[in-house]
Amino acid sequence: MFNCNRGLHLLIRTLRELGYNINWSKVEGPAQRITFLGIIIDTRELTLTMPPEKQSDFYNLLLSFQKRKRASIKQIQSLCGKLNWACQMVKGGRTFLRRLINSISSAQNRNDKVLLNSEFKADISWWLNFMSVFNGTVKFIDFKPITSLQTDASSLGGGGYYNGDYFYVNWAIDFPVFRKEHINIKETLAVVLSVLRWGHLWQNKTVIVLTDNMTTKCILNKGSTKNNVLMSLLRDLFWLSARYNFDIKGKFLSGRCNIIADAASRLHEEGQLSRLYDILTSYSYISFSADELLRHVSYEFYICRWCKPAIRLGDNCRTLENQGVG
């Protein structure tokens, strides 16, 4: 504490020597709990807290906009300012601020009114849904990144890998609505499915998604897209990002290096299951059985891909490896 006081006095003296005026009513500390820009910062608990009265006012403001059909430029600017303030605590929140800003980007007069379109209302609904479950406090983010998350998609399937675990989905069997979608949408869906599977393990973390799809990498980092399907996927992804308080970014990894996720996304092809387990067992021992496999693929896909009349799921004596399944 002595060193903190000494540093504060040195800073103030330096600023005054440089000709700055000090607003003494704004000087605080040193302290382990202070309020800065309306946010309570606690360095002992490593938390940021939105005061209850501000949380209530913020929620009521969002409710008022949900009921409106029109609003003035000035009112929307005020709303955007408050949302930007809340984004200090709500990870992924800026994704649902950009279209609000775009709605007034071409306006000239602050008193002009604009029609609140469906995109505007969708972003307001996202904020309302989140604030209804938000307890007002988040932990500081650990900036040491998680870098073992890989995702990939092919025309027929998608998959992901994280920290010894993996999954596979078959578009035709598990997600038929996405069966004919563009590969960029399938690649992004693979990331969303990864977050659904492992997001609860990433609380207060920074997560790097390794993908061989440049579009997926760019929209993750930008947080928005003009494609409605991709935007819907981003809503789900950043909801979980805000819910579990993790920061997620994309990083390009060439296909020849993205080997685990590539194998996991192609289990519909002959030999890819053996290829995947050859890679995984080079890191650690993993049992190779039907029960183990069903932790990573759907029952429906398992039946379609591997089951034969002589093979039963309850037969724990015979592993897939012994059955010659590839």
Q: For 111-159, what is each residue's pLDDT tens digit?
A: 888 889 888 999 999 999 999 889 999 999 998 999 999 999 999 999 9
Q: Are residues 79 and 192 in the same domain?
A: no
Q: What is the pLDDT of residues 201-247, one digit of tens each?
A: 999 999 999 999 999 999 999 988 888 899 889 989 999 999 999 99
120 with 185, same domain?
A: no
Domain C-terminal end among 117, 138, 159: 138
Cα gap 207→147, rounded to integer Å: 7
Q: Are 273 and 279 in contact (CB under 8 A)?
A: no
- At residue 5 the predicted structure's pLDDT band, cuts being 50, 70 and 90, is confident
Same domain, 196 and 298: yes
Q: Give the model's confidence band at 313: pLDDT under 50 very low, under 70 low, under 90 confident, else very high.
A: very low
How confident is the prediction for the chain on average, in pLDDT? 88
My answer on whether 107 and 252 are in the same domain is: no
- For the chain, give the percent of residues with pLDDT over 90: 63
Q: Are residues 165 and 265 in the same domain?
A: yes
Q: Give the mean pLDDT of 299-309.
A: 83
Number of domains in the chain: 3
**Average pLDDT of the residues in 322-326:** 50
Q: Is the per-residue pLDDT at 312 higher than 70?
A: no
Say yes or no: 195 and 275 in one domain.
yes
Same domain, 294 and 281: yes
pTM confidence score: 0.82
pLDDT of 318: 42
Amino acid at 66: Q
Task: Read off the pLDDT of each residue in 175-201 and give the average, rounded to a whole number.
Answer: 96
Is 97 in the same domain as 209? no
Residues 284 and 309 in one domain: yes
Number of Cβ atoms within 10 Å of the Cβ of 106: 7
Residues 178 and 217 in one domain: yes
Residue 323 pLDDT:
46
Domain range for 67 is: 52-138
Q: What is the pLDDT of residue 322?
A: 47
Residue 308 in this model has a pLDDT that exceeds 60:
no
Judge if 83 and 35 occupy the same domain: no
Q: Give the CATH number of the domain where residue 288 resides.
A: 3.30.420.10
CATH number at residue 82: 3.30.70.270
Segment 77-90 shows an average pLDDT of 92
Question: What pLDDT sits at residue 119?
Answer: 87
What is the mean pLDDT of the segment spanning 30-34? 87
d(CA 63, CA 239): 19
Alpha-carbon distance 172 to 155, whole Å? 10
Per-residue confidence (pLDDT) for residue 326, from 0 to 100: 58
* pLDDT at site 321: 44
- Judgement on whether residues 24 and 82 belong to the same structural domain of the protein: no
Angle between helices 228-244 and 214-222 (to 10 degrees): 60
Most confident of 21-30, 86-95, 237-246, 280-289: 237-246
How confident is the model at residue 315, as a pLDDT?
A: 42
Residue given tokens 């192609």 in the structure block: 266
Q: What is the pLDDT of residue 285?
A: 58
Q: Which of 138, 157, 180 is the last residue of a domain?
A: 138
**Average pLDDT estimate for 64-89:** 92
CB 125 within 8 A of CB 271: no
Q: Which of 64-73, 160-169, 206-215, 273-282 has the lowest mean pLDDT?
A: 273-282
